[in-house]
A = this chain, B = another copy of it.
Amino acid sequence: MFAHNKRLQYTVRVNEPNPGLANLMLEQFGGPQGELAAAMRYFTQAVSEDDPGRKDMLFDIATEELSHLEVIGHIVAMLNKGAKGQLAEAVDREADLYRAIQGAGNDSHVTQVLYGGGSPLVNSAGVPWTAAYIDTIGEPTADLRSNIAAEARAKIVYERLISLTDDPGVKEALGFLMTREIAHQKSFEKALYAIEPSFPPGKLAGDPKFASVYFNMSQGEGDHRGSWNQGEQWEYVEDRDQQCAVDGGDGNASVNLSGDQMSVVKQAAMRTASNPQTDPTTGAELGAAADSLAMQRPGQESQPSGKPLH
């Protein structure tokens, strides 16, 4: 069960309203790398987790991320406060209000006009938060890696936001939030490596014929080697023919169909065949300008419909 304490985890002191900055801060409120994504990622993992240590840790961190959501939400709310009042009371003349909304810039008009200067669960583009951002699949050797990566990403977005403002109170609170992502990453790393083995993830071993092959699929000036495709642990394949049909087969796809199935498949194919033997007049040709470069080529005569292809 959750309980709420009216004090924030970190005091928020905003120097002055700035709806444009508020809108950028939404990235960490309702954006893909933001605190709701973090909280829900760990919360849903915690609910289904059977390992008692991880379950506890996931609830600990989920709860803290909810508390961070509250901190960043209040930063947004403070930055929007003046504009929210002006819009609600419409104290300015209309043209002034329009200029104010245009002037605040980026997508802050959405926060103002649609959300009334609140703290909506959208990113800085106004795109609503979606659970498609959460990549939990219910296997800890994958989910912990996802969590590690998610913390890394959140740390970076905070770093960028810190670079964008010189308001000392905002900077300080963001610095706290950023630092906590580092701490969380460390916890998830410990929990991952405490699973033995943690690689390869899951239960099935890979096929040894293909687990150490590196296919050089992109070729040309700019080919590089490094430990990711070089050294005794790698078999490096650059012959294009050896990259195809690596099972040694013909590289085609096939299925066994019953006689009935085969005949309807053939019937459908025949009914809808594009006949390669004719050169039909097309709608594009009907609609082409008389002198259209797009349709004509030097020496080409105007064509009757459906002539045989020679």
Contact = CB atoms under 8 A, between A and B. Distances in A.
Contacts of A248: 11
Contacts of A94: 162-166, 171
A5 B244 contact: yes
Interface string A146-159: 10111011011101
A299 to B, nearest CB: 7
Interface string A282-310: 11111111101111110110000100011
Nearest to A282: B189
A136 B269 CA distance: 17
- Range of interface residues on chain A? 35 or more
Chain copies in complex: 6
A282 B214 CA distance: 17
A38 interface: no
A195 B16 contact: no
Contacts of A286: 193, 198-199, 280-283, 286, 305
B14 A205 contact: no
A147 to B, nearest CB: 8
Contacts of A204: 159, 162, 178
A6 B134 CA distance: 24
A21 B164 CA distance: 21
Given A89-B267, A135-B153, A264-B91, A195 B274 contact: yes
A274 B1 contact: no
A161 B236 CA distance: 29
